Structures are given as structure tokens and as C-alpha cells.
Amino acid sequence: MVKARDTSASCALLTVLASAVGTARGTLLRQSRFKSCHPECSLTLSGSRERGSIVQNFIPRLEVATLQPPQTRLIPKLGGLPWGFPAAMWPSCRECSVPMALLAQLPHHHPALDFGDSRWVLHLFQCTTAGCSTWSYDEGCNAAFILPREALGQGLTRPPQVVSDRPVYVWVTGSMPVVHSMHGELWIAGWKEHEDAIPQHMSSAYFDPRAFGALPEEFQFPHNFRDPRTKAGGVPYWTANGPWGLPQIPSRPFDYLMQIDTFLSIPVPLPDPSVIGCDVYVHDANGRMERRPVPDAAKRENAPWSAMQEPDRDNEYCVEFANFGSDGTAYVFIDRQTTPPRAVFFWNR
């Protein structure tokens, strides 16, 4: 639980907290300082730099939390438990009524994560019940909001007690799905500037489905469905479905902020299951896969959901930390024109 703080909350702070959990809805319209092939569509790039005519973005350097010392302060991270979060504000899923799990707690960090002011901290939550409509920002199964640092206490906050049974949607996988109480925890140790390889004049097309469909394939998917798929700034690296089949892309004054992939790359040798706290899967060059189960005594609640190593990648592995449709990517948008800023996120495959 959050420890009590010896401070007197002002009416202004209470107003900020109350407004922070509002839900934003969007329509297909874009804000821009660049021209599009459709005059009504435009875009503002968030958290990105220009080097000549090429957009720059930022790639996080991730560390698995179960391999680190205990957390002692507010840090940027994915999954796990939030630091100092007001327990009374913990969101619950509209569909299954179970408390959501933290997906990310990210303080302002210019230029990678620009929230407009260093006092703001972004919080993302998502239900872990398989089958709930977590893909959409307006179904009540995920939540995104920004709080001031002074609203946060000390220590890790546990979620509220579950008062109803979690539903089991067997139809999702055809078998009993694995139930996770929280998302795998990874810490962001830093950001590396990365060249987007997208010409500046093409930027607005990534927010306009018709213009995006007219781009050459090498520009539609410059990542070739490999890393980096988790990043901040630049333009969205869409999944195979592109910007179609989504809830409506948030409209102005929302800007693209960042995206988070289901699988996250860790640039160090693969640890033993008993050390990382989850099952490990090793693929060989012949297509065979070896499962190395974690002993029950070594399981960790905040461990990644699984860890995997591909052939010829002895000094790198990836972890699964959340469910975005098994292999999807979550996209976060921000509106900096309000106080506090508003945020929404959705995922697509």
C-alpha cells in the first residue's frame, strides 16, 4: 500500500487528480505542420527530432526487474507495481470488474517522453483477463492518465482486493488461458537516439489510412517486423494491419507519443529460468524449441510472462510481458493542451 504523506492536498491538486482519469475519444483527423495528400489530414510529430530530412526517434534500453535490486524510488518502467500510486484511483475493468494491472509508469523525460512539464508521470493500465476488449481506448478495459509527481507517495502500491471471480473465456484460445496477476516488469535504463529512416515529407501519411496505403511497402514497414518495435517519437511503426481496423486514431490535439510491443528485446545473455523467474524457450537452427520450465519455488509474480532466444543470438533474448493479441503493438497518444495532459492507448496486430 502507499504510505501516508505528511502533506496538505490543495483543491487544485484534487482537481488535477479528478480530471486525470477522464477518457478521450477520437475521430479520423490529424494535426500537422506538414502537408498531406489529403488537406484535412495533418500531423504533429511528438518527441522526435529532425536530422536533415530524416525523423529521429528514441529506443529504450530495457532491464528485467527480477534481475535487479529492489526498487527504491520512482523510475520509468513497464509492468510490475506502480510506485506511490494513489490506491483510490486504481482502475477496474468495465467488462470483468477485476482491477487492471499496471502496463507502464513513465515520468517525463525530454526529449524521448515529452509531456510538456517535468512534473507529469504517465500511467498505463490494462486488464489481464483474456477476452476483455483491451485493444480499444473506449471500451473501459484499459486506462491511460497523467498525474503530477506530488500526487505520488512512497513504496509500491498493491492493487485493490479482487471482489469477484475473474471470468474465463475458453473460446479465446480453445483451452484454459493462463491467468496473470500483473504484467512482466522491465525497467527503462536509458534511451538511445535512433534514425527513423522516414523522409520528413512522408510523415503525415502514417496517420492517414488512404495515404499510408499509397506508400511503397518499404516505407510502410521500414522495421520489416523486427526491432525496434518499442520506441518513442517519430512516426508509428504499424503492425501488418497498418492503420486500418483500429479504434479511430485519436484526433487533434492528440499527438503520437510512443509504442510498446508484446515482445521486448534484452541485449544480454539469456538467464536461467530459476534466476529470471519464468519459463524460458530456446529455438535452434533446425526449428526445434526447448522449453526450460521455471521451478515453482523460483517463480516471481513480476517476472516476464516468458523469455525466448532465437538461433545465433547468444547475447540477446526477448521477453513477453503483456497480451496485445499475442503478437500486437500498443500505441500511445497524448494531448498536451490540457492540464494535466490527456493520454489514450490502443493496440493492433
Same domain, 66 and 166: yes
Domain span at residue 273 reads 265-320
The pTM for the full model equals 0.83
Number of domains making up the chain: 2
Is the residue at 314 inside a domain?
Answer: yes
19 pLDDT above the threshold of 50: no
Asked whether residue 210 is assigned to any structural domain, the reply reads no
Q: Is residue 149 part of a domain?
A: yes
Give yes or no: residues 273 and 184 share one domain: no
Range with top average pLDDT, 15-29, 80-94, 213-227, 304-318? 80-94
CA distance 127 to 90: 12
Q: Is 319 in contact with 270 (CB distance < 8 Å)?
A: no
Answer whether residue 24 is part of any domain: no
The answer to whether position 213 is within a domain reads no
In a domain, 4, yes or no: no
266, three cell numbers: 534484452
Q: In this structure, are residues 201 and 34 in contact, taking their beta carbons and an 8 Å threshold?
A: yes
Of 132, 157, 188, the residue at which a domain comes to its end is 188
From 138, 165, 188, the end of a domain falls on: 188
Residue ending a domain, among 158, 188, 218, is 188
Contact present, 219 and 137 (Cβ < 8 Å):
no
In tens, the pLDDT along 101-139 reads 999 999 999 999 999 999 999 999 999 998 899 999 999
DSSP states of 233-279: SSS----TTTTSSSSPPPPTT-EEEEEEESEEEE-SPPPPHHHHTS-
Which of 70-79, 178-187, 213-222 is the most confident on average?
A: 70-79
> Of 319 and 12, which is predicted with more confidence?
319
Q: Are 77 and 178 found together in one domain? A: yes
Tell me: do 184 and 292 sit in the same domain: no
Buried b (16+ CB within 10 A) or exposed e, 5-22: eeeeeeeeeeebbeebee
Residue 21, in any domain of the structure = no
Q: Which amino acid is at 36?
A: S
Reply yes or no: is the peptide bond before residue 340 cis, omega within 30 of 0.
Answer: yes
d(CA 172, CA 233): 33
